[in-house]
Structure 1
Amino acid sequence: MMRVLPPMDIGQAQLVSTSVAAEDATPVWAAATAWAKDALCHRVETHMVYRRITAGTSPTPPEGDAALWQALRPTNRRAMFNLLHDTRTRVEGGPLTVTLAPGQRVDSLALVGLTGASATVRVAIGADVLERSFPLLTRRVRSWYQYFTAPFVQQGALTLWDLPPYRGATITVTITPNAAGPAGVAECGRLILGMGARIGELQWDYENDALNFSRIERNFDGSLAAIEQRRSVPTNALPVRVDAADVDAVLALRARLNAVPALWSGWTRYPDSPYASSALLFGIYRRFAVRPANKRYAQATLEIEEM
């Protein structure tokens, strides 16, 4: 089943607690400080890190002084809640734990850009507690040789579509670092929370591709002149069968998600399928066409581009 998770805003009011001790490793902005060119600072009020464009001081906070400061990235504490930047919240030497009070009904949760050995999700409604744990180091083996020699692979994402949708619930997410990993690091790129929406049934022969922004130049004879590795942005082209009764809801969803990042998942019915990760992206749709095929269903074509 193809589902999408439109994200709710997670601000300071929803963040009950976090194990990230400091807002960021960079210094806090101060008007009296003489900042060097390219110096970094952060503002707790905006949860953003800024880079100084020219050396000097200024009484205006960075968010109001674009001539002297460049907004660079979210702070470490808030990176996992900022959906527009490709950054991660990072904790070394201990688990990454956040407790949230959404203040509204939510039934789905996604964690993207994970580093760690396991993840635990705890939902508390008064005295009732639902707790589930998931390993994040996995491997698929097809022979005894692979069983003894194949390394464990970091699972980069975790999705839950069946949280109890109680308005007064608190949700605690804990990512435990891998003891054998680098410096016991736990990371999360994005935490997405909200009410999941059904689109339809993903059809076979969908396409997982990538936009390659690397620079590759060749000489007149075809020999390699220069190569510079840059980011490759994953994309999906997904054919989906939509029940006729759901078409109006899907069209409303398309309008709602115009230029809005969301989590798109094509294998929610079979999350353990070897194909599941190939149809899971956090991004925006570039194309969302709906074509009525007959009186029973319509055919939708989605083209998703990762953030």
Structure 2
Amino acid sequence: MSTADFRMIRPVAITDAMLVSSSVPEALAQEYAPGTAYALGATVGVTTGTMQLVYQGLQASNTGHAPASSPTWWKPLGAVYASYSAAATYALGDIVSSISAGVHDLYESQAAGNTGNPLTNDTKWLRRSATNRWNLFDKALNSQTVAPGSISIAIIPGLVNTVTLLNVEGAQATVSQSVSGYTSTKSLVRHDVLSWYDFFYEEPIRSGDVVFDDIPPYGAATLTITVDNAGLDAAIGGCFVGKSRTIGLTQWGLTGGTLSYSTPTTDKYGNTTVVKRANAKRLNFEVRIPQGFEDEAFRLLTEYTDVEMVFIGCSDRSMTITYGYLDQWQVPVSLNGANAPISIRGLT
């Protein structure tokens, strides 16, 4: 397999049963009590309003050390929110969770004195996002799963051979598999500069997209995915696992750009302001279709037109990796192979 193979990754939807474990909390923890002696690894919470900050104990015989001010005794795991209660009264801006089988959502109150109004009442409640634990699986790349220091999940997704992590913030990402012993770690630190001045004065970037496309396919295997970012928050916007299918070889001359959803507004004096919103990738490829493979390429592209999936133009170039859908494409027929123009519209 070449790094320049043009591939479509058909994602597997991750269900509750597939998610074996996650280092990111979702439910409320037992409230911290100063007089309690906590064991190594104990989990506690500190609640303010509907939000609770969750901590994990770093030492045994942990008594009287306030989690927020005792970093040698407690490690922060992230924020969770109380479950919605029809009997409670919520203030404007309060956030609650709705968690059940296949449901992992956060809602924000749109009114003061919000009592007894169901979450389906869109004048009183606005769906904010998935819960922090499930943001990386919700297909919305701009809503990230975020945790201090690192994120680690274990999943059993079935027969897959590719893991794609998008909109990642971290120093490195690691994927390992239980059956084969496969493990691979890739750096996420980038310091692309054009001069020595920039080398010394531009800070390295800890973000980007990364693909693990050499995973042995075993249906019963557990995949462990970890992003480390010591001293900073680790974040994953999208985690996609699936089987890849190669269409042809990506040719030089591909182009990449963005679709901006920001809104500029100009007042009567000509002053323009921009309301910053998300943007998505737009990619244009020329893909070399091998002679004799045209019918199958046409079938695959037809089948997956308007289907959301991961596309990889070149696994070594982050700009060519996106989650989106086929926009325009054509498959030429030639005696010795020809280039197919393929356009991809990314999703946010």
Instruction: Using structure 1 for the length normalisation, give the TM-score.
Output: 0.84
* CA apart distance, 1:217: 4.9
Matched, 1:72 2:153: no
User: Matched residue of 2:249: which SS?
Assistant: strand
Work out which structure has the larger RCO, using CA pairs closer than 8 Å and 6 or more positions apart in sequence.
1
* CA apart distance, 1:149: 4.2
RMSD: 2.4
Given that 1:243 and 1:298 are in contact with CA atoms closer than 8 Å, whether structure 2 keeps it comes out as: yes
Q: Cα–Cα, structure 1 residues 76 and 229, in superposed 2: closer, same or farther, change >3 Å?
A: same
* Higher normalized strand content (fraction of residues): 2
Moved more, 139-148 or 208-217: 139-148
Q: Cα–Cα, structure 1 residues 252 and 39, in superposed 2: closer, same or farther, change >3 Å?
A: farther
* CA apart distance, 1:139: 1.8
Matched, 1:105 2:159: yes
Q: Specify the code of the residue in structure 1 equivalent to 2:83.
A: V
Q: Name 2:23's counterpart in structure 1.
A: 19
Max Rg structure: 2
- The match for 1:185 among 224, 233, 241 is 233
- The match for 2:252 among 204, 209, 213 is 204
- The match for 1:225 among 268, 271, 274 is 271
Q: Specify the code of the residue in structure 2 equivalent to 1:280.
A: I
Instruction: Using structure 2 for the length normalisation, give the TM-score.
Output: 0.75
Q: Structure 2: how far apart are the matches of 1:244 and 1:18?
A: 46
Matched, 1:282 2:344: no
Q: Structure 2: how far apart are the matches of 1:99 and 1:75?
A: 17
* CA apart distance, 1:191: 0.5
* CA apart distance, 1:278: 2.6
For structure 1, list consecutive stretches of 5 or more residues without a partner in the other structure.
none
* 1:251-301 Cα shifts (integer Å, max 9, x gaps): 333344343322211113xx2xxxx123222212222x2232413335422
Q: Name 1:163's counterpart in structure 2.
A: 215
Q: Cα–Cα, structure 1 residues 248 and 42, in superposed 2: closer, same or farther, change >3 Å?
A: farther
Q: Specify the code of the residue in structure 1 equivalent to 2:25.
A: A
For residues 119-198 of structure 1, what are the structure 2 equivalents within 5 Å?
119-125=173-179, 128-140=180-192, 145-179=197-231, 184-198=232-246
Given that 1:32 and 1:59 are in contact with CA atoms closer than 8 Å, whether structure 2 keeps it comes out as: no
For structure 2, list consecutive stretches of 5 or more residues without a partner in the other structure.
28-78
Q: Structure 2: how far apart are the matches of 1:105 and 1:245?
A: 28
Q: Structure 2: how far apart are the matches of 1:293 and 1:251?
A: 10
* 1:61-118 Cα shifts (integer Å, max 9, x gaps): x2x44454332211100000111463000101x321001111x211111111111111
Q: Cα–Cα, structure 1 residues 47 and 218, in superposed 2: closer, same or farther, change >3 Å?
A: closer
Q: Specify the code of the residue in structure 1 equivalent to 2:260.
A: N
Q: Specify the code of the residue in structure 1 equivalent to 2:281.
A: P
Q: Structure 2: how far apart are the matches of 1:228 and 1:194?
A: 38
User: Matched residue of 1:159: which SS?
Assistant: strand
- The match for 2:115 among 57, 68, 75 is 57
User: Matched residue of 1:48: which SS?
Assistant: strand
* CA apart distance, 1:178: 3.5
Given that 1:290 and 1:299 are in contact with CA atoms closer than 8 Å, whether structure 2 keeps it comes out as: no
User: Matched residue of 2:136: which SS?
Assistant: helix
Q: Structure 1: how far apart are the matches of 2:26 and 2:308?
A: 27
**Percent sequence identity over matched residues?**
23
Q: Name 2:97's counterpart in structure 1.
A: 42
Q: Specify the code of the residue in structure 1 equivalent to 2:288.
A: R
Q: Cα–Cα, structure 1 residues 247 and 58, in superposed 2: closer, same or farther, change >3 Å?
A: farther
* CA apart distance, 1:155: 3.5
